[in-house]
Amino acid sequence: MRKMAGVLAAVMVWAALCGGAVCGAAVKFSDVPDKAWYADYVYKLSAKGIIGGYQSGRFGPEDDVKVAQFITMVVRSLGYDNLKYYSGYVDKAKNLRLVDEGEFPTKASLERAITREESARIIVRALKNEKYNVSLSVFEGMIGDYMSIDSSMRSYVLKVYYLGIMGGYKSGNFGPKDKSTRAQACKMIMCMLEPELREGPVAKDGETVKIKGYDVPIKSDIVISTGSEYNVDIFLSIDLSRSDDSQYEPLEKVLASKFGTEAINPIIDYIKTKKDRFTKLQNAFYIDGQKILVGSNGYIVDLVIYQR
């Protein structure tokens, strides 16, 4: 009797994910209103055969997505079908490097609800050929609870945030430890599959974000990273391979936003002495007790700004 109950439970879970007559069919779910924000995502995935509804006719948009279910959705969206649920999909995910060995090692870890930061990690790994043409650290200041994201997950969250696959709440928080719902999972998967559906943070020319007191342009050639290692406040790196003076402007604006134009002039003047990739820069400046180390390698100029 217990064995039969277990089989029935497994069948119901699979039907809810993508099984039975509801999978890939043009069905209407009783709890998915046409005007709901998630309706299009749900019905498109249902039509693709990636997810289905419960046998009762419900979809359960606010129900938690289990780890195994989310993995199955992503693997199916990549074109792998008719695998054994859910072990076949988990094995394929490992083969595709969507999941590393040691992640979700037990049955219990696969059958619990997946968190938003875990969802982000799997999606980024599925998008192996995606290009990131900005310094992702500029978006740290846009996420109110950025420091609550597990350190090993931050790069994944920044990437889905930048791509517009996963955004934040109205509060500005991302909710990394929150459980992903079935409705949210549908939006994630559809945005992963169809870039035109993504709604990333929009940056106009000249728009900046505040990072540690610096106004950093979102659209620029500056590479930025932050950290507390060795008492470092912020790292700035810029490619000066162009010959026009405009190449210095982004760096000037970032430094001036913190220290003022007059204070940074000696630094900029020194950097401008680099006329070719062979000229070596190596000097230290001090502004209001902060050490600014300037160095170069080829056309790349690096600034390490230390904390007071």
The answer, yes or no, to whether the previous bond of 86 is cis (omega within 30 of 0) is yes
pLDDT confidence of residue 3: 43
pLDDT in tens, 148-171: 999 999 999 999 998 899 998 888
Name the band, by pLDDT with cuts 50, 70 and 90, for residue 9: very low
Overall average pLDDT of the 132-147 stretch: 80
- Tell me the residue type at 89: Y
CATH 3.30.450 fits 208-306, yes or no: yes
pLDDT confidence of residue 12: 45
Residue 174 tokens read as: 């991302």
pLDDT in tens, 105-116: 999 999 999 999
Pick from 63, 56, 59: which is nearest to 43 by CA? 59
Q: At what angle do helices 249-259 and 261-271 cross, to 10 degrees?
A: 150
* Residue 221 neighbours by CB distance under 10 Å: 17
Q: Where are the domains of the chain?
A: 10-197, 208-306
